[in-house]
Structure 1
Amino acid sequence: MDKSLEKQLAKWLRDQQGACGAYLKFSMCLGVFNGALLVAQAWLLATVLHGVIIDAAPKAQFGYHVVGLALLIALRAAVAFVRERVSFEAGKRLRTEVRAAVLNKLDRLGPAFISGKPAGAWASIVLEQVEDLHDFYARYLPQMSLAGFIPLIILCCAFPLNWMAGLILLITAPLIPLFMILVGMGAADANRRNFSALQQLSGHFMDRLKALSTLKLFNRAAAEEQAIAKASEEFRERTMAVLRLAFLSSAVLEFFAAVSIAVLAVYFGFSYLGELNFGHYGVPISLFTGMFILIMAPEFYQPLRDLGSHYHAKAQAIGAAEALMELLNAPEPLANGAQPLPVGDITIRAHNLKVLSMDGVQLAGPLSFTIAPQQKVALVGPSGAGKTSLLNVLLGFLPYEGELTVNGVALRELDIAAWRTQLGWLGQSPQLFYGSIADNLRMGNEQLSDEQLWHCLAQAHVADFVRAQPEGLAHQIGEFSAGLSVGQAQRLSLARTLAKQAPLLLLDEPSASLDSQNEQWVLAALQQALSDKACLMITHRLDQLASMDQVWVLADGAIVQQGTVAQLSEQEGVFQRMLQELPLQASLDDDELTSAGGIQ
């Protein structure tokens, strides 16, 4: 990984620690307090051993010392438990806030951005990658402070007793973080590659799971099973590479900590044998001094060893932060608008409008048009002409250049949430959520009564289906509209759109993938609902255009023709060629054109 990028990611991670609240600092304070208790525990133990072994004092003299030692052990255990709980709470708060920020960001970016990755990839970011931030805040950051404070406390206690012992501790201490850094240099890259493989595997698996019935139908299940097995094996190999780094780091740290403690023990051993006579301040080294420093020596290196064992948490967090930071810093299509929508009927005007992708690539334009109140406009044209992009920019899901105004106010200046309350959207793929029919129709608008819901269901020709369910409006819809046919799901989506009572409807081929009966019901409901509303509808069915006031023909991102059905059918151009390419059963009949004021 590029060092500048790694620094940016590390800075981003530290910038998020405010989400942990006071719990992170409290965890650090508890750790330092536990270190101070450790020093007191070592002092009591060394005092008792020196008094009993060297001074031959009666054991009863140390009753209070033993009681104090037992209390210190119990207190240290309690502090360690509380610190663990506090650290977990810090990580939990961080994960909750980051996950909420990710979901809110995805909500603001909209489906045009989300469709750029498979659903499994987004699930990996929201679930696994956010979870992998936990140990960085719950363990690594608190341990960094302890790795500085506790060795300093022990050095302050060791140097006044024996400067050589303090010097040994001071010299050997940097070996552990040095080798920790050397071993962990590749850990961030390994984790980043691991997350990339996990995203691909998640996206691949989720997409194939949703299309399982289709794969079986075309006898492709075995081939996809092999592809998933191959992707799983690649992910396993990357995961094992990360684990090898983690175990190697721990082994190296344990080795150098053991060597350092051994050097200290050898120094005191030879000093007691009389072979070494330096390090003290003119006073022979007592058993208290040796025992006190040797008891504290493992705890001197323990925070550094713990930091090393948690170092992979930093590498893991940096690997996860790359995708999270990229997502949270992604530019939003309409992020700065706050102006309320002017009252009155909605009039939309565009002049030299260019619709852009999230990457700044032009998808359609320049476009100039006007949608008047209650005007019905149909968008037709070949696939890839920019029809859906135009709907997405009106919904606020894509950025744009040029002029696009609603009642004279630029769309980018409007409060986008307030603007969307004025829009009703219906696409070709029903999007119903797990919950009751009533919940799906209300979509959080609890002001809608059951009577109003039944009216919308009747308009959408789906009331009979709902009444046939034992629970009626409380009937539960499963994930991915489980338990419903495509026609039923589409008509329930239509009922939800009608329940919104929006003055402008944006329709993306609402009758696609429906059988003839469901198509008739949906079109009849729409024709009734559009009597007092404006509408912009994408369709490939030219036999659905008779009720439209205007037809706009898009080709290569531009409006190449516009007018009534009758006018366009007589003009040479894209629309006439589309009519000629229609099969006989789907072509416009004379009665439809006559009703539109066309061929006589």
Structure 2
Amino acid sequence: MDKQLQRDLTKWLKSQSKLAKRWLMLSVGLGFLSGLLLVGQAALLAHILHQLIIEHTDKYQLVSSFGGLFAIVGLRAACSWGREIYGYRCGEQIRLHIRQLILLRLQQLGPAYIKGKPAGVWASLVLEQVEEMQDFFSRYIPQMSIAVLVPMVILFAVFPLNWAAGLIFLITAPLVPMFMALVGLGAADANRRNFKALQRLSGHFYDRLQGLSTLRLFNRAEAEAENLHAASHVLRKRTMEVLRMAFLSSAVLEFFSALSVAITAVYFGFSFIGELNFGHYGVPISLFTGLFILVLAPEFYQPLRDLGTFYHAKAQAIGAAESIVEFLNSDADGMSQGQTNLESPETISITADQLEVLSPQSQVLAGPLSFTIHPHEQVALVGPSGAGKTSLLNALLGFLPYRGSLKINGTELKELDHSQWRQAISWVGQNPLLLHGTVRDNITLGNPLATEEHIKQVSQQANADEFIQRLEKGYHHQVGDRSGGLSVGQAQRIAVARAMLQSGAFWILDEPTASLDANSEHLVLESLKNAVSGQTTLMVSHRLDQLAAMDRVLVMENGKLVQNGSFEHIRQQGLLADMLAHTDKRDLDA
């Protein structure tokens, strides 16, 4: 990974920590207090041993010292407990914020952008990669301050007693972070490769899991299992690289810490036997001084060692942040929206002038298109597969960027508040999507405050009430993911009731009867006919026998608008005539 990129990602991560400054300060404050208590603990322990060994003091005279020692140990344990709690709260608050940023960005980019990557990739981004930042915010960031404050406290305690020991600490201390940085140079790269492998495996596994029935029918289950095995092997290899870095970092830190403590111990050992005679300000080194500094010696390096232990959390967070920051900064200028309120939302008119619908990568999907849909007009949109109908619908819904002009009630769509614009839309698609919850929850998805009377009324109008009443719990019947437990026709009627409850002035019908049997199709069409009466409507349909009831027909081919007029006017020529002839021939063959 580029060093400048690492610095930018580290800067971004640290900027997020400001959101939990209170918890961070509490965690650092308790760590600093624990350092002060540590000096007191070392002094009491050295005092007790000096009195018992050198002064031969009766142990009963040291009861107060023993009591103070136990009290300090208890207080340090409480500080450690508090640090863990506040550190976790710090990481939790920041993770919630980052997840909110990701979800808001996903909402802004819309489903057309999301479908460009497997669902497993988004699951990995929102779940695993955000979770991997916990230790960075809860442990590494506080430890950076503690690794400076606690050694400074110990140096202030040691230098007045023995400048030689303080000098040993001061000279050897930089070795720990220096070698920690050297070992950690490749850690961010290893973690980045690990997350990429995890994303690929998540996406691959989720997609294959969704299509398991198809794979079994085509006898490809074992072959895909081999592909999953290969992807998991790559992930295992990348994970072992990360672990190898972590273990190497820990080993290096332990080595230099132990070496520094050993040098201090050797210095005091030779001083006690009279071989070394410096560092004591002219006062002989006592057992108290030696024990006090030797007890503090490993503790002097402990914050630095902890920082090194948590350094892999920084590398982990940088590796995770790369994909997150890249996603948050993804170029989607065409998806920007304004704050202008929609004028007269109870009546909708749409005007497109040289409209070009773009993909999230700025490729032209359809256009240029020029047309007008007048208030209360019912318009059909037809054309062969791949003509650009779905792209046009996505642009109207604000899910795809565009060039040219697309005005709603005279206001450019880019300038509108998309959330308010979508409140004016009632949408029924060809594949009804019901969410996990009750039937009532799914009907009230766009209007949670609806009354029970209103819910029952729209259900009756959508011909859904009759089968809902037969369910064991009626409107409180639990619906599984992807309409589990209901037929496609039943799910579609619930979707129609949901659209009716939203009471939009602009109806978009995207082949609402494409997957239905004859009886369900009749019921859905009957309910939709009553619902869209008097409303501005745009219906995408392959059923050409439904076009005669529409006020106007738009015909698309290869992303262009090739015909525009009433059904009777354009049915005798052009692409629509060819489509009608093909339909008639197919019906005769049947």
TM-score calculated relative to the size of structure 2: 0.96
Q: Which residue of 1 aligns with 2:453?
A: 451
1:43 partner amino acid: A
Provide Cα deviations, 1:59-111, integer angstroms capped at 9, x if missing partner: 33322211111100011011111111111111111112222222222122211
Q: Which residue of 2 aligns with 1:582?
A: 583
The answer on whether the counterparts of 1:348 and 1:404 sit within 8 Å (CA) in structure 2 is yes
Q: Which residue of 1 aligns with 2:315?
A: 315
Alpha-carbon separation, structure 1, partners of 2:316 and 2:449: 47
Provide Cα deviations, 1:212-236, integer angstroms capped at 9, x if missing partner: 2222222222222222222222212
The answer on whether the counterparts of 1:333 and 1:396 sit within 8 Å (CA) in structure 2 is no
Q: Which residue of 1 aligns with 2:524?
A: 522
Structure 1 residues 587 and 253, CA, compared in 2 at 3 Å: closer, same or farther?
farther
Q: Alpha-carbon deviation of 1:30?
A: 0.6
Q: Alpha-carbon deviation of 1:521?
A: 2.5
Q: Which residue of 1 aligns with 2:377?
A: 375
1:562 partner amino acid: N
Structure 1 residues 264 and 580, CA, compared in 2 at 3 Å: closer, same or farther?
same
**Structure 1 moving runs of 4+ over 6 Å:** none
Q: Alpha-carbon deviation of 1:582?
A: 3.2
2:308 partner amino acid: G
Q: Alpha-carbon deviation of 1:297?
A: 0.7
Q: Which residue of 1 aligns with 2:389?
A: 387
Q: Alpha-carbon deviation of 1:586?
A: 4.9
Provide Cα deviations, 1:159-196, integer angstroms capped at 9, x if missing partner: 22111111111111111111111111111111111111
Q: Which residue of 2 aligns with 1:591?
A: none
Alpha-carbon separation, structure 1, partners of 2:33 and 2:280: 29
Q: Which residue of 1 aligns with 2:53?
A: 53
Q: Alpha-carbon deviation of 1:385?
A: 2.4
Q: How does 1:503-518 map to 2 (within 5 A)?
A: 503-518=505-520
* Structure 1 residue runs without a partner (length 5+): 589-600
Structure 1 residues 332 and 475, CA, compared in 2 at 3 Å: closer, same or farther?
farther
Q: Which residue of 2 aligns with 1:178?
A: 178
The answer on whether the counterparts of 1:109 and 1:332 sit within 8 Å (CA) in structure 2 is no
The answer on whether the counterparts of 2:429 and 2:512 sit within 8 Å (CA) in structure 1 is yes
Instruction: Report percent identity of matched pairs.
Output: 54
Q: Does 1:493 align with 2:495?
A: yes
Alpha-carbon separation, structure 2, partners of 1:484 and 1:21: 50
The answer on whether the counterparts of 1:434 and 1:479 sit within 8 Å (CA) in structure 2 is yes
Alpha-carbon separation, structure 2, partners of 1:587 and 1:230: 51
The answer on whether the counterparts of 1:436 and 1:474 sit within 8 Å (CA) in structure 2 is yes
Q: Alpha-carbon deviation of 1:559?
A: 1.0
Q: Which residue of 2 aligns with 1:303?
A: 303
Alpha-carbon separation, structure 2, partners of 1:66 and 1:449: 71
Structure 1 residues 519 and 584, CA, compared in 2 at 3 Å: closer, same or farther?
farther
SS at 2:449 equivalent: coil
Q: Which residue of 1 aligns with 2:187?
A: 187
SS at 2:376 equivalent: coil
Which deviates more, 173-182 or 136-145? 173-182
The answer on whether the counterparts of 1:165 and 1:279 sit within 8 Å (CA) in structure 2 is yes
Q: Which residue of 1 aligns with 2:135?
A: 135
Q: How does 1:144-543 map to 2 (within 5 A)?
A: 144-330=144-330, 331=332, 333-343=334-344, 345-443=347-445, 445-543=447-545
Structure 1 residues 587 and 368, CA, compared in 2 at 3 Å: closer, same or farther?
farther
Which deviates more, 31-40 or 185-194? 185-194
Structure 1 residues 352 and 94, CA, compared in 2 at 3 Å: closer, same or farther?
same
Alpha-carbon separation, structure 2, partners of 1:340 and 1:474: 36
The answer on whether the counterparts of 1:543 and 1:586 sit within 8 Å (CA) in structure 2 is no
SS at 1:546 equivalent: helix
Q: Alpha-carbon deviation of 1:333?
A: 4.6
SS at 1:446 equivalent: coil
The answer on whether the counterparts of 1:541 and 1:586 sit within 8 Å (CA) in structure 2 is no
Which deviates more, 30-39 or 181-190? 181-190
Which deviates more, 9-18 or 59-68? 59-68
Superposition RMSD on alpha carbons, in Å?
Answer: 1.9
The answer on whether the counterparts of 1:385 and 1:554 sit within 8 Å (CA) in structure 2 is yes
Alpha-carbon separation, structure 1, partners of 2:340 and 2:553: 32
Structure 1 residues 583 and 302, CA, compared in 2 at 3 Å: closer, same or farther?
farther
Q: Which residue of 2 aligns with 1:594?
A: none
Alpha-carbon separation, structure 2, partners of 1:584 and 1:400: 38
The answer on whether the counterparts of 2:438 and 2:479 sit within 8 Å (CA) in structure 1 is yes
Q: Alpha-carbon deviation of 1:334?
A: 4.4
The answer on whether the counterparts of 2:548 and 2:568 sit within 8 Å (CA) in structure 1 is no
SS at 2:381 equivalent: strand
1:90 partner amino acid: C
Q: Alpha-carbon deviation of 1:49?
A: 1.7
Alpha-carbon separation, structure 2, partners of 1:318 and 1:32: 27
Alpha-carbon separation, structure 2, partners of 1:187 and 1:480: 41
Alpha-carbon separation, structure 1, partners of 2:584 and 2:37: 87
1:346 partner amino acid: I
Q: Alpha-carbon deviation of 1:340?
A: 1.3
Alpha-carbon separation, structure 2, partners of 1:131 and 1:479: 25
Which deviates more, 307-316 or 247-256? 247-256
Which deviates more, 176-185 or 575-584? 575-584
Provide Cα deviations, 1:251-279, integer angstroms capped at 9, x if missing partner: 11111111111111111111111111222
Structure 1 residues 587 and 535, CA, compared in 2 at 3 Å: closer, same or farther?
farther
Which deviates more, 493-502 or 522-531? 522-531
SS at 2:71 equivalent: helix
Structure 1 residues 390 and 444, CA, compared in 2 at 3 Å: closer, same or farther?
closer
Q: Which residue of 2 aligns with 1:592?
A: none
Q: Alpha-carbon deviation of 1:3?
A: 1.4
Alpha-carbon separation, structure 2, partners of 1:372 and 1:444: 25
The answer on whether the counterparts of 2:447 and 2:501 sit within 8 Å (CA) in structure 1 is no
SS at 2:471 equivalent: coil
SS at 1:349 equivalent: strand
SS at 1:397 equivalent: coil
The answer on whether the counterparts of 2:462 and 2:494 sit within 8 Å (CA) in structure 1 is yes
Structure 1 residues 332 and 115, CA, compared in 2 at 3 Å: closer, same or farther?
farther
Q: Does 1:26 align with 2:39?
A: no
The answer on whether the counterparts of 2:446 and 2:501 sit within 8 Å (CA) in structure 1 is no
Structure 1 residues 586 and 500, CA, compared in 2 at 3 Å: closer, same or farther?
farther
Alpha-carbon separation, structure 2, partners of 1:332 and 1:102: 17
Provide Cα deviations, 1:366-416, integer angstroms capped at 9, x if missing partner: 221111111112222233322111111111112222222111111111121
The answer on whether the counterparts of 2:6 and 2:318 sit within 8 Å (CA) in structure 1 is yes
SS at 1:215 equivalent: helix
The answer on whether the counterparts of 2:446 and 2:502 sit within 8 Å (CA) in structure 1 is no
Alpha-carbon separation, structure 1, partners of 2:351 and 2:196: 43
Alpha-carbon separation, structure 2, partners of 1:70 and 1:201: 52
Provide Cα deviations, 1:482-508, integer angstroms capped at 9, x if missing partner: 112222222221221122111111122
The answer on whether the counterparts of 1:108 and 1:332 sit within 8 Å (CA) in structure 2 is no
Alpha-carbon separation, structure 1, partners of 2:235 and 2:584: 49
Q: Alpha-carbon deviation of 1:4?
A: 1.7
TM-score calculated relative to the size of structure 1: 0.94
Q: How does 1:71-150 map to 2 (within 5 A)?
A: 71-150=71-150
Q: Alpha-carbon deviation of 1:332?
A: 6.1
Count of residue pairs brought into register by the alignment: 588
Alpha-carbon separation, structure 1, partners of 2:520 and 2:239: 50
